[in-house]
Structure formats: structure tokens, C-alpha cells
Structure 1
């Protein structure tokens, strides 16, 4: 037999307050005196009351639910991002409705579910966003924030690492160490992150009269491993490889080990992101650290300001990040 659901009316009777007061106690940001809040919470605990967020949303037209869409969950960077977003939003009284899209693009079915749950905003990480999806969500006053990417033709706000400048600084760093033969292993070619990292890296080296070899990858360990197993067997192999992200770099490191190539003595490798695995002793990867916490805080603030009607024109925020030197790059000469 199904247990009877305790409702707010019963809590109100026990605490000797109105039902609306009970509702305010369980609504983040609502004003209630500490004394009244304590009385209501004690009554709720005593009879086992748990508020129904969806039901409350129907009444207040405010669900405090944020949609978050992610594609490549095999990349450790994004589960770490999901964890940070979930914790940060919870601290502000919001819950995450998570969607893992398998088609590299938000589908109409997922849009429909956002509308069904009456989400207050949507954060999009590494998936494609069509103009039709943006239009449909905008029609229902649901703002969208792009995280760790941008689209110059989009009407959405975006928060991203300055990948172009980072790529340029990585090129400069490796050049100053005395390296001469460079390779860049890309991420997915349709992403702004990979394109900007490549552009910055290549432009710096071209200024020095060096044309780097570009090898196509897709942000996966397998891609890094496969590319490395091929290019490192060449007689004219690179002495420095910059990878579009850390998980690609880890694949390159493992391939080099199998081929008997010493890192960093015979090959230098730089990644991007600074995932947890990058610092593991078997890898000790030199990488570009994205300021994830600052980026997430800016994304949430931008989204909530838009929900409250404070932000209007699309904004793009860029964050610098920094190079973390570990043990995967060899100093060939004094800079």
C-alpha cells in the first residue's frame, strides 16, 4: 500500500502558520523570520514533509530548475564541470535537469522536455545549437548560455576560455624551449575551442617561419593514441606535440611509451584543461589550466541575471587561464 503523501496544509496546522508561510520557507530567497522558519522546519521534520518542487513551480511559476546539456561525457573534463555546476547552482537554491545528448546537437524532444519541466534557463556545453532550438526556447523566455564555447552568429550569451591567446602562448612556450618540429592534434573541427587553439598556436609559429603539422582528432583518448602511433613512427617525427585537450594528450603519452619514446627527453607534450588525471604521476602532464570555477560562477551569474531580466544584448566573456608546468616538456635551451 502506497504511503500517504504529507502536504503543506498539515505542516501549516502543526506549526500554527498559514500554508503560504510554509511555501515561503521552502522557496529559496523568500523572506521569512528565523523564528518562523525554525518552527516550520521542525514541524516538517516531525511529520516527514518533503516539498514537491514541480508542484510548487506550477503555483509560483518559478521552478528553480536549470537545464544543462552535455555531449562528450567520456571526456573527464565535462563530468568535473557537471559536478561544479550542480554544487554551485544548489548553493544558490537551484537544481540541475541534466541531459546527455548522443547526437552532438540538442533535439526537439529535449527542447520539449525543457518546456515540460518549465526550466528557467539552459546551459549548453559541447553540443551544437540550431537557430530553431534557440528560437523555440526564446519564445518561452528561456535564456541560453553557451559554456566553454561561442558562436559568432548566435544570439546567446557565452562564457569561454581565451583559447586563441592560450594557443599562441603555448606555441611561444614550446618555441622558447628550443623545439623545432611541431604538431597540433585537433579536437572536433566544428568547435570554436579547437579552432581557436589551433589558430593561436599556428599563427605564433608561422611568425617564426615554422609551419606546424595539423592532425585531426576528436577530443578522445583513442584519437590521441591512434594519431601518435602513426606520426611517431615517421623518421621526421615531431619533437613537440600540442593536444587540443588533456585526454588526447594522455593517449599520445601512452602511445609514445609503447613505442619506446622517452617523455620528455625525446618528445614534449602539452595538453589543455588540467583534468585531474593530468597530474597523476605516470603522466605529469604540462597543460593549460582553464579557470573553471571563475567561468562557472560567471556563467551562473549571467544566466540568473538574464532570468531576472537584467541582461539584454548577447555578451561573450573570455577568461585567460594559465600554463601549468609539470614533467612532459623538455628544456632544450635556456629561454
Structure 2
């Protein structure tokens, strides 16, 4: 049976670091946390949650965490929860356990068949109006993560994409760039819409003309959009994208056109997923504090389950600009 020492050796970290990841005590970077998670999954290590700890938290609540097939399929195929939503899911699993909440991860599309939980957490922007209506009809506490529905006063935890986009756009403007393009995914998810609005407002405030291209958030769709941009607009000075994956695909396509990053075009992504630091070139991006978002969702749901601060709140988590080598 694998031990904590085995996990530390495989991850290349100290036993104390593994302990901090498991127990949620002290700061551990997302990159290091990812290494520990990967080692835990590869070894099949099962950290024990102390019965004494659970007893100290009072009642053990049963929580269902829902994410769409779109979100869960890539994570399950990779075998390790490591990218944007994977980090959030892992944070929820770890922190709910510490708060005396038992977690089951379920497919959003199967919500109607899922009964028996004391509360719910919904991840991502794929929640339909029909499902939201059914959720409310059950009269169980719930929290949305990385999604906000204007006009619906429900508890949610989101990153401040608007502020991050304004910061990124202003950074590019401060470097003297004027031809700054925004390449984004579909705007129905609130996160993409906030980033789009931040870019647009920052450009207009600086007296510059916004220029944006929408892709379908796939590599092939992004390649087509870049070709359209180059044919209709020419080569911009900088490109700001609505997430890191789109930034990767943008850079790959620019390279295929013999356009150098950052010499010819500076590129900024959004999210700071694990691969951003190791991309070629390492990606300048806005770090979304994904683990913290998962933690806050757990704490908020626990408050609702225990009757603390029942009035719904929207929790905004600021991003952090991370300068790497994809910008001049």
C-alpha cells in the first residue's frame, strides 16, 4: 500500500508539502499541488479523513457536484484532474471533506435523476433555464462556480474577468500597441462575456477601436478565425484571448503563417492553466485562482446548510497578471 513518503518521492517534494496539500494547511502553489495530485492518483494513495475531524464538524452533509459532459469528458480522458475545471473540482473534493461534507461528482445532464443530496455545487456555464428551474423547485441550497446569471439572485463564486481583461488590455496599450485584437469563445458563458466587456471598455476608454473575433473554443475553429483575421485585418500588434487554450491555438496558427510571437505579435491568455508556463513561448496570462474558487464555494455552501448568512451573495475573486515571454 502506497505511503505519504512514496507520494512525496514521486512528486519530487517534501512530506510536509504533501501533508499541506492533503490537509489544506499553508500555501502551496498550483503547480506543486498539481504534482502532488498526479502522484496521489498514479500511486492510488488514499489519504484518510479522520473520523474525529468529521465529528468536530457536526452533521455529515451529502453534496452533489455537477458539471456538464463538455467539462467532465476531457478530465476523465486525461485521467488526472489538472486543467481549469479539474483544479476547481479537486479543491471542492478536498475542502468539502474538511467541512464534514461528503462529495459525489455527477453529470449535469443527469440532474433530474439525481436525488438524495443536502446541497449542490454547479460548475461552469452550461446550466440551462430548465435545469435552474428544477433546482430551485427542490428548495435545497446550491452554489454556482465560474458562472453568474444576471437577474437570478443565486449564490455564486466567479473570477473577476472584467477587471482582468481591463488590466491586460491596458498593459498592452501602455506598451504602445494600438492594433489589439480580442479572440474569444462564445459569449453565452458569463466568464467570456465579462472578459469581452473588459477588453472593449478598455479599448474605447483609450480612444482605440475594438476588434474582436469569435471562435467556437476549439483548435480548428480558432485556426479558421486567425485565417479570417489575417485576410481581413492583417497582422495585429497584439492579441488578447479569452482563455489559455485559445491562446495556444492562436500562437500555433501564427507560427504556421511564419508570424513570430512575441517579435511580431504579443499574445496574452487568460486562466493560467498548468501548461501555460511550459508552452513555447511561455504564455503571459491572467491567473485565475481556481483552487480558491473551489474552497470559497465549499465554505459558502456549508454556511447555507448551517443557516449562516442565508442572503445570496456573488463572490468575485480577483485575477493576477503573470508576465512571461509571449509578450514583448
Residue 87, structure 1, aligned to residue 94, structure 2: yes
Return the alpha-carbon distance in structure 2 between the equivalents of residues 199 and 94 of structure 1: 37
CA-to-partner distance for each residue in 1:108-148, whole Å, 9 max, x for gaps? x42331x1xx1222211223334543343344332221111
Compared with structure 1, are the counterparts of its residues 225 and 77 closer, same or farther at alpha carbon in structure 2 (3 Å cutoff)? farther
Return the alpha-carbon distance in structure 1 between the equivalents of residues 183 and 87 of structure 2: 23
Aligned to 2:31: none
CA-to-partner distance for each residue in 1:255-283, whole Å, 9 max, x for gaps? 11111111000011100000011111423
Spell out the pairing of 1:59-208 with structure 2 (5 A cutoff).
63-73=61-71, 74=74, 76-101=83-108, 107=109, 109-113=110-114, 115=115, 118-208=116-206
**Residue 324 of structure 1, CA deviation:** 0.1
Return the alpha-carbon distance in structure 2 between the equivalents of residues 263 and 193 of structure 1: 26
Compared with structure 1, are the counterparts of its residues 272 and 249 closer, same or farther at alpha carbon in structure 2 (3 Å cutoff)? same
TM-score (norm 2): 0.75
Compared with structure 1, are the counterparts of its residues 128 and 179 closer, same or farther at alpha carbon in structure 2 (3 Å cutoff)? same
Compared with structure 1, are the counterparts of its residues 93 and 242 closer, same or farther at alpha carbon in structure 2 (3 Å cutoff)? same
Aligned to 1:315: 313
Return the alpha-carbon distance in structure 1 between the equivalents of residues 86 and 209 of structure 2: 35
- CA RMSD, 1 decimal: 2.5
Return the alpha-carbon distance in structure 2 between the equivalents of residues 221 and 253 of structure 1: 11
Compared with structure 1, are the counterparts of its residues 99 and 217 closer, same or farther at alpha carbon in structure 2 (3 Å cutoff)? farther
Return the alpha-carbon distance in structure 1 between the equivalents of residues 326 and 179 of structure 2: 16
Structure 1: tracts of 5 or more residues without a match? 1-24, 33-59, 102-106, 331-335
Q: Which one has a bigger Cα radius of gyration? A: 1
Aligned to 1:274: 272
**Residue 198 of structure 1, CA deviation:** 0.9
**1:250/1:283 contact within 8 Å kept:** no
**1:126/1:148 contact within 8 Å kept:** yes
Compared with structure 1, are the counterparts of its residues 131 and 232 closer, same or farther at alpha carbon in structure 2 (3 Å cutoff)? closer
Aligned to 1:30: 55
> Whose helix fraction is larger, Structure 1's or Structure 2's?
2
